[in-house]
Structure 1
Amino acid sequence: MPVAPPRPTREPVAGARRIAAPAYVPAGTGRQARRAARRNVRRVEAGARVAESSARKAARDADRAERQAAHCLPRAGEDGSDSLRVYRPLKIQQHRATSEVLAGAYPFLAEAGLGEKGVYVGTDSYSGAAFCFDPWVLYADGVLTNPNVLLAGIIGRGKSSLAKSLATRSIAFGRKVYVPGDPKGEWTPVAEAVGGQAIQLGGGLSTRLNPLDEGPRPAALSEAEWINTVTGRRRDLLRAIVEMSLARPMHSVEATAVFTALDAAVRENTTPTLRHVVEAMFNPSHAVAGSSIDQLTADGRAVAHALNRLVTGDLSGLFDGPSTTHFHTDLPMVSLDLSRIHGSDQLIALVMTCASTWMEAAITDPDSGQRWVIYDEAWRLLRSPALLARMQSQWKLSRAWGIANLMIIHRLSDLDAVGDANSAVRNLALGLLADCSTRIIYAQEAGESTKTGAAIGLAAAEIAQLPDLERGEGLWKIKDRAFLARNVLTPGELAVFDTNSRMDGPAARRPAGPSPC
């Protein structure tokens, strides 16, 4: 007979009744005994539940007593007046105003800056954020109306270091840098450090520049247009030289004599020079309408002697023959070093006029890309009305040529030395200021701050900051926005840019690491 398999045993689960002795009933026990055993089991279970409930209650009471003893802040905060708040919503009356007025409600907020695109300049003095500037990027974004920049600051406050850092850092963005005249030779080590060229002019040097050079011809100009462009540039140069030398405007008969001699020099020589022009003025070979040969000689005598200063006078050997060097447009930086030329401001301005004209013959090509043209010690150039007119033309055409002009002066009161009040010359100088969308003002004397603020439209709070600006710190006025930024230089830049190296001895060397300058 088959035997049934044993029944599987079940393991007790959590919460099951596990009472052994009270529930045990031997086999053969009667009904009455089994009922008594079940009643006994129910009593034991009830007692266990009571004991378990009592244990949980005791644990809750102990936890509550512990929290009360620890004096913890309730989740919803203190009750009553200790909560320091009301449970009713706060209602404030609406107030509407312009953004200019509402800006006063947040006096401790700093400007957001000009964005991260472009050349890194340093840090914002208020927010500590990085400050970047690029005239071409800002013009493309509609922030600027022109790329020209004015930089003013007293000696020793770092304006030259800022100009050099802007120029050299722009090279990494594909821009080129031209310095038409460097009276102190500060840009020579900079040009050499970036792989550029520094052309030195002065006594004892064999370098000679011909300011009447044509320069490279833009591909977009026809032959007739190119001839007119070169002729206009040469006439403007001669007019500027004559008026600077004679300290007066050139008369109409003198202009006829000069331009006739220029036409003869161009017609009779493959490469016309100033020497050819002077010879044609002393000995004209052809009469023109309204003037005979004798009249041309007499009318141009004073002008010829003024130009002869550059041929046989104290400036001979600089601009009186064909150029001995060439302008390399593929170099990252080209500078004309005039530090070997000493004399009056008029002499320096005359040399800078000829040198800058030679360089400008190559930088007016719009196909040459984006370029910085930096006029250091520009206050010397502002005193020449003819040169001012040429500079104004270059300022106006900066967008078409793809250049950004940077004019460096000491103070805006330098413009007061240009002509008489309300004169055409003074208006030309002020026009250059108006054609600079970016004005960077470094530290100014207390007496100059008010004049500076009135000239470029600074607020009273901005004017009050100018005398207290630290070295390397400047107020950037970009259209209607103002920033206070600090120029930060690397140790390598400091070694090349620092114009105080001759004044600083070995003990005065600056520590390594980025430094404001």
Structure 2
Amino acid sequence: MIRLASTHAAITAPLVASDTAFPGIPIGRSLLDGRAFRLSPALVSDRILPSTNSVALGGLGSGKSTTAKVRSRREILDHGHQLVVVDSFGETQSGEWTSLARSVSGKVVTAGEFQLNPLSELLPPAVREELVRSLIVAVAPDALDPHAGYALQHALTHPKATSLSGLMDALVSPEDGRWSAAELKTWGVGVAMALSRYTDGSLSGLFDGDDASLPETDLPMVVFDFTRLDRNSPAIPALMAAVACWVENVWLPQSAAPHRHLVLEEAWQILLSPATAALVQRLLKNSRKEGLSLDVVMHTLSDLGEGAAQDLARLCEIAHVGRLPHDEAELVGRVLGLPAWAVAQIPSLGPGQAVWKVGPGYVDIVQTLITEEEAELTDTSSRRRRAQQILQDPAARQDVEPTEHSPDEEEADGGPDATRPDDECGPDLIEHDDQERGEEDHGSAWGWDMPPNIIEPAHAGTEDVRHRDVLQAAREGRLSEAAQLAAIGEREDITAYGINSTEAARWLVTRAQVADLSGDRHQAATLRANVTRMGKNLDWFEQPPEPGRSAEPAWHHVPLTSAPEPTGPEKEPRSRTRRRVWPYAATAAALSLAIVGVGHMADADRKADDRKTKAAAYKGRAGAEVRLDGVKADVLARWSRDRDRVVVELRTYFEKDARYLRIDANGETSSSVKPANWFADSPELSLPVDDPLADVTVRVAVGGRKWTQDTQAPSQMIRLSPTGVAYDAETGERLPSDL
């Protein structure tokens, strides 16, 4: 379990994780409360998760690639998804994803053993031009000025332009057009020289074939293995541009899978190229329409520099961040909008542990769990373990003959002082990390038989900064957060010290000050009156700060343990002081109670007026038009003549794509499934009514064309008023209606 200190950060952690659960494949367990963590983004409602794209970040050995591979394998086996992986990093001249691809009957396409013809007839003309431009920019960023761009457009219309060699001939020997052949030749020479890198230079054999030897589009996984190429070679962004065009124009239109994934391993090499970054950005923006998830895996955001490349990370609704240094963690927190408590935990995360952010509001710390089979398929640290075995076994060391290694291989090994290679967290480090560390710290080990506890109680003699953090949040306008933090702190101290303790009274005063800052003087007066009724000295709690302290009340810095009772002659003066204070406290209590009484009368009058207005507008019916999972539906509510019942109905009429309908309210459920040759029936609920003027809140769910028994239908909470209007119960937005 992750153990957090008793600070603002720690107090907010359980709030954010709370009891939210997502549908999908199992990934691991929460280190905040021990719950199982599941997630298949394609199954989550688009109201919660607008897009399914993800970014995985983490340092060497953090486990980000292992988690990405395990997620991919489980999506293929459990849900029939398809993947295309661009793999540009491997340990032994072979990609990290090779073993995994072969285990699911996929295909590995190795750079140098296949050709991608950017001028293939399989690609539309506009795509061919865009791809050729990407190849040119990859090797000569300044080659395409306006004149060169026109010369390229002219050459692409030539009959010879069916391969790069033919295109180069058309550039150096153009025919007359709008401009003369001599001018076109002058403008096109630089472009032809750039393309010559792919036909005669170091990049030959990748793009200069007469046709494209492309893989099938119905495979569970296709891995484009670029690991044999120089990591700084312009061939990688050039190949990525070709793969992106194939994905967009061939694979996506022909794939019949329910959902597709494009995985970019070591994505920084791809995103730093302006041309390929633009292609990736287009895939990101169109991913929802295409049923595609773009899953980006890389070390840090600083690898991308500042600007457009980092902006791409912001388009990912899902992020899992493994161990990073403090400065990188702060950068990631700013770019991805992580809360401060999560950013503080990133540098101390273990292998396989990551901060997960799902959508705009869910944050958790999760330990990835893998099986023995998955450990073998995702293991990429065999070299390091062999070296460790040799060092531990002298006999094995003598049997090993020295061999010559290239500089690249030595760098991949990391040398004798290097840290663990990228994401090589084997099964022991991922599944049993708690056990390994348990030997080092027996006193603080977290066993799963113990009840989860993520917050250490405040210790006597330490500074309690929780009140200060609550007030700071309120002053910054984060009133809801401040109220939640205060409620959590109050509950903890009541449990630890009792409901009439000084610590509990402190929280009542802090909540009163939050109410003052929010403008709710009635609530503030009520809370202060409660402090006085507890027999506590209100003046002492709200005394000004001591000299040299912060601007917070001085009691924020008082130790939680009470001072020892004085003995002997000191008792008499103390009692006299208490008698002098109590008259003022009693007066304050009387004034507070008077204010409370006036406030209650005002509230009662306001509620009576509201009921009169609502009774005058009473219609006994309400309706709302919603669109869920591509299906238009109407929610109707009709109150009975006696006003003691309300019938709520969900209708889709003759919508052929409405495969599943459901209503939930007051613990009751009604649903219907579309039969084979007809339309779905309209489910309805008849609910008892205690107050005929009260609104009725229901949750409706609709499964569209792609809904199956194994998927969760998108849903929406709706509040229906007997005055004829309806609202989104979560946002308060008024919904349209045909009534």
Length-normalised TM-score, structure 2: 0.49
Check whether the contact 1:210–1:358 (CA below 8 A) recurs between aligned residues: no
What runs of 5+ residues in structure 1 fail to find an aligned partner?
Answer: 1-101, 216-228, 419-425
Q: Quote the residue 2:344 is aligned against.
A: 464
Corresponding residue of 1:99? none
1:280 corresponding residue in structure 2: 170
The counterpart of 2:101, out of the listed 191, 205, 212, is 191
Q: Which of 504-513 and 490-499 deviates more? A: 504-513
Q: Structure 1 counterpart of 2:58, which letter?
A: G
Which residue of 2 is the match for residue 390 of structure 1? 279
Residues matched between the structures, number: 384
Deviation readout 1:410-440 (Å, 9 max, x if unpaired)? 1111222x5xxxxxxx2x3233122111121
What is the CA deviation profile of residues 231-281 of structure 1, one whole-angstrom value per residue up to 9, with x for unaligned ones? 2222221222222211337211111111222222xx456xx2222222211
Equivalent residue number for residue 444 of structure 1:
324
Given the alignment, which residue of 110, 119, 123 partners 1:200?
A: 110
Counting only pairs closer than 5 Å after superposition, residues 322-341 of structure 1 correspond to structure 2 as: 322-323=210-211, 325-341=213-229
* Structure 2 residue aligned with 1:136: 42
Asked if residue 380 in structure 1 is aligned to residue 269 in structure 2, the reply is yes
Residue 222 of structure 1: aligned partner: none
The residue identity in structure 2 corresponding to 1:438 is I
- Please tell me whether the aligned partners of residues 209 and 358 of structure 1 are also in contact (alpha carbons under 8 angstroms): no
Is residue 407 from structure 1 mapped to residue 290 from structure 2 by the alignment?
Answer: no
Change (3 A) 1:481 1:510: closer
SS in 2 for 1:397: helix
Give 1:373's aligned amino acid: L
How far off its partner does 1:164 sit? 0.6
Higher relative contact order (CA 8 A, sep 6+): 1
Indicate the percent of aligned positions where both proteins have the same amino acid. Answer: 29
The structure-2 alpha-carbon separation of the partners of 1:148 and 1:182, relative to structure 1 and needing over 3 Å to count, comes to: same
Change in 2 beyond 3 A, CA 1:318/1:196: same
Match of 1:236 in 2: 130
User: In structure 2, what is the equivalent of residue 145 of structure 1?
Assistant: 50
Residues 512 and 151 from structure 1, CA distance in 2 versus in 1: closer, same or farther, beyond 3 angstroms?
Answer: closer
From 56, 72, 83, give the equivalent of 1:167.
72
Pick closer, same or farther for the CA change 1:318–1:516 going to 2, 3 Å: farther
3-state SS of paired residue (1:400): helix
- Whether contact under 8 Å (2:85, 2:264) holds in the other structure is yes
Deviations 1:167-193 (A, max 9, x none): 111112011010134343111111111
Whole-Å separation in 2 of the counterparts to 1:362 and 1:168: 23
The 5 Å alignment of 1:92-171 reads 111-112=17-18, 114-115=20-21, 117-138=23-44, 140-171=45-76
Name the amino acid aligned to 1:350.
Answer: A
Number of the residue aligned with 1:293: 181
Give the conservation status (yes or no) of the 8 Å contact 1:126–1:484. yes
* Bigger Cα displacement from structure 2, 319-328 vs 300-309: 319-328
Matches within 5 A, 1:317-356: 317-323=205-211, 325-342=213-230, 344-356=232-244
Instruction: State the alpha-carbon separation in 2 of the partners of residues 384 and 105 from structure 1.
Output: 42
- Cα distance, 1:211 vs. partner? 3.1
Match in the other structure for 2:310 = 430
Q: How many angstroms apart in 1 are the aligned matches of 2:136 and 2:191?
A: 6
After the TM superposition, which of the residue ranges 248-257 and 395-404 deviates more from structure 2? 248-257
Change (3 A) 1:329 1:108: closer
**Aligned partners of 1:183 and 1:339 also within 8 Å:** yes
Residue type of the alignment partner of 1:253 = H
Equivalent-residue separation in structure 1 for 2:426 and 2:134 (angstroms) = 44
SS of the residue aligned with 1:353?
A: helix
Shift of the 349–183 alpha-carbon distance from structure 1 to 2, 3 Å rule, reads: farther
Displacement of 1:514 after TM fit? 8.0
8 Å Cα contact 2:59-2:323 kept in structure 1? yes
How has the CA–CA distance of structure 1 residues 385 and 110 changed in structure 2, closer, same or farther, with 3 Å as cutoff?
A: closer
Equivalent residue of 1:243, what SS? Answer: helix
Residue of structure 2 in register with 1:262 after alignment: 156
Decide whether the 8 Å contact of 1:180 with 1:359 is kept in 2. Answer: no
C-alpha distance in 2, partners of 1:512/1:385? 40
How high is the TM-score relative to the length of structure 1?
0.69
Alignment equivalent of 2:249, drawn from 358, 361, 370: 361
Q: Do the aligned residues in 2 keep the contact of 1:486 with 1:516 (CA within 8 Å)? A: no
In structure 2, what is the Cα distance between the partners aligned to 1:176 and 1:409?
A: 21
Name the aligned partner's letter for residue 469 of structure 1: L
